[in-house]
Structure 1
Amino acid sequence: MAEKQQVRADIREFLTTRRARITPEQAGLRAYGGSRRVKGLRREEVATLAGISSEYYTRLERGNVKGVSESVLNGIAHALQLTDAERTHLVDLIRAVSGSRPVQRRRPPQVRVRPTVQRILDSLTMAPGFVVDGRLNILAANELGRALYAPIFDDPIQPPNHARFLFLDRRAGDFWRDWTQAADDAVALLRAAVGRDPYDRQLSDLIGELSTRSDDFRVRWATHDVRAHLTGLKRIHHPEVGNLELPFESTPLPADTGQHLVIYSPEPGSPSYAALRILASWAAKPNEGDPAREPSARQEAEERSGSRSDPA
């Protein structure tokens, strides 16, 4: 029962934060003079836009969502201008709280990456590749991926975790050149994962750890932002080869629930491509412990890119 109460609280906070971000003007409503006590839309304004009664919407926002219809969901999604990812998140929360049987937090079985998937990763010699789960654990990587994410793989807690590195490792601010965006994206992905499975014990433990130890995480978690993150650009400062700009694609693995294949693919001929070629050549060789290796590595990468690393 306590678990479902938490999901109801998540529904209430999600809907509240969504309507707080929309002004009457953005919703196409006439704004009258005078101050408004409510930030964003009022409940009755959302109800009007969704085509339902104010009393019904108030019940929904309080987490009483049993039996809510598809048409009502569509109306709310339209009124609150939800993205596809946000609508999916709301549906996930409603599904979780509408089950007839009580659900206890559970520890999922150990997740393994199939050998076929690992062979696909290993075949990519000039593209860093990873398999990541909904908790942002890195479950597998190819050789170049490990070299690229060397600071993340340094974590003694295994498997390495993107969110733990971002919020609990001091090196993250240097490694991620756009740390704020990376942090926002990580929290939004974790929030979506909680919606898909609110009773995942390992995920709950991770959220609890990050909330306790990081103010930056706790503030972001309270926003209830969710988004899909299937393509984009990562801006990294690698400790050996300097600044990198790496377009990426992320795709779910249909046969492996919760796992995504993530591949970075720099533009051929770009400074980032040249730097990855250097990193790939080092990754393919055993480390012989040469103390001069790191300084010469930086120098070679800078010469290939044509400039020193910028401070961004």
Structure 2
Amino acid sequence: MAGRNDPQGGNRDIREDFRAEIREFLGTRRARVTPEQAGLPMYGGERRRVTELRREEVALLAGISSEYYTRLERGNATGVSESIIEGIAQALQLDEAERIHLNDLLRGAGTTRPPRRRPPQQRVLDSMNGTPAFVLSERGDILAINDLGRALYSPVYADPVRPPNNARFVFLNAHATEFFRAWDQVAGDCVAMLRPEAGRDLYDRRLTDLIGELSTRSEEFRRRWAAHNVRIHTTGVKLLHHPVVGDLDLPFESFPVGGDPSQVLLTYTAEPASPSQDALNLMASWAATNDDNERSTPADSSETAD
């Protein structure tokens, strides 16, 4: 979704963006469910032109009229109750992430002002010795990071664009497929986490600009974005290849910052006494050496110039 500008500065086009997202999301979810999967008979047999659920069949399963569901799938989200959302979610066999995304889209269609933002928590990061830690925005921007995290993500920080952005690195940097050993999974997760954020806040111009840039410059992103997949991705194992210390297998967890879903605290750990822990220890020494060299460089340069 690349947001559209309203020449009069109003909210009408923003709501139209939400309605378009509702249409596309519900359409793609309906297309992946067959009547058999939903427990319905295949009326029409061989004469049936489509294999996915029809709108009237979704309405039947959700316990609402076909006219109401048709209006809803076309983006008219006025006055949708929680029971209706739940019925549609069950009919379309949505998972937890997809239910949350649908709810955000329906609620956002009537939003008149952007959500409030909370500042990153740098002091928390600095207190986490031995653990790479970041605060990420909903766009994948690295808003704050501790020293070990910056050393771990040094390939991402090699890009001069600030703030560093995970999605931009994954899809636009030639080194991403080397840094992320499971790049295909990382790319899919990246898009599936951006999609619900786009549905949650269409007032974020930087988010829509990022999506527009990635859609224009990356065929991989464009193809994955069109699938409308969404995902909650709070824990797992990241497989990395660092240019200095080599391969690392790092379990990660993410947590909302101050209860604000627009920012998350991401932490990486390693199994004790594992090769990945040894690599983190080596990385910490490498990072400290680099910091010492950077602090001494201006003075050394000045003496040489004199």
Fold shared by both chains (TM-score > 0.5): yes
Which of the numbers 172, 175, 179 marks the counterpart of 2:179?
175
Distance across 1 between alignment mates of 2:83 and 2:263: 31
Residues 238 and 244 of structure 1 are in contact (CA less than 8 Å); yes or no, is this contact kept in structure 2?
yes
Distance across 2 between alignment mates of 1:47 and 1:170: 46
Matches within 5 A, 1:191-270: 191-254=195-258, 258-270=262-274
Structure 1 residue identity aligned to 2:171: F
Which of the numbers 46, 66, 76 marks the counterpart of 1:64?
76
The corresponding residue for 1:294 is none
Which of the numbers 24, 33, 39 marks the counterpart of 1:28?
39
Superposed displacement of residue 142, structure 1? 1.0
Matches within 5 A, 1:289-304: none
Superposed displacement of residue 125, structure 1? 2.4
The corresponding residue for 2:167 is 163
Structure 2 residue identity aligned to 1:281: S
Superposed displacement of residue 71, structure 1? 1.3
For each residue in 1:21-75, what CA deviation from the matched residue of structure 2 results, as whole angstroms up to 9, or x when unmatched? 1222221223464264224211121111111121211111001120112211110
The corresponding residue for 1:309 is none
Structure 2 residue identity aligned to 1:217: F
The corresponding residue for 2:60 is 48
Match of 1:233, SS state, is: strand
Distance across 1 between alignment mates of 2:193 and 2:281: 30
Closer, same or farther in 2 for the Cα pair 1:274/1:197, shift >3 Å? same
Distance across 1 between alignment mates of 2:100 and 2:244: 40
Distance across 2 between alignment mates of 1:124 and 1:251: 14
Superposed displacement of residue 287, structure 1? 5.7
Structure 1 residue identity aligned to 2:223: V
For each residue in 1:230-288, what CA deviation from the matched residue of structure 2 results, as whole angstroms up to 9, or x when unmatched? 11111111111111111100000126561110001111111111111111121122367
Aligned pair count reads 281
Distance across 1 between alignment mates of 2:237 and 2:47: 41
Match of 2:149, SS state, is: helix
| TM-score, length of structure 1 as denominator length | 0.85
Structure 2 residue identity aligned to 1:215: E
Match of 1:234, SS state, is: strand
Unaligned runs of 5+ in 1: 290-312
The corresponding residue for 1:292 is none
Distance across 1 between alignment mates of 2:282 and 2:203: 44
Percent identical among aligned pairs is: 59
CA RMSD of aligned residues (A): 2.0
2:122 aligned with 1:118 = yes
2:27 aligned with 1:16 = yes
Superposed displacement of residue 131, structure 1? 0.5
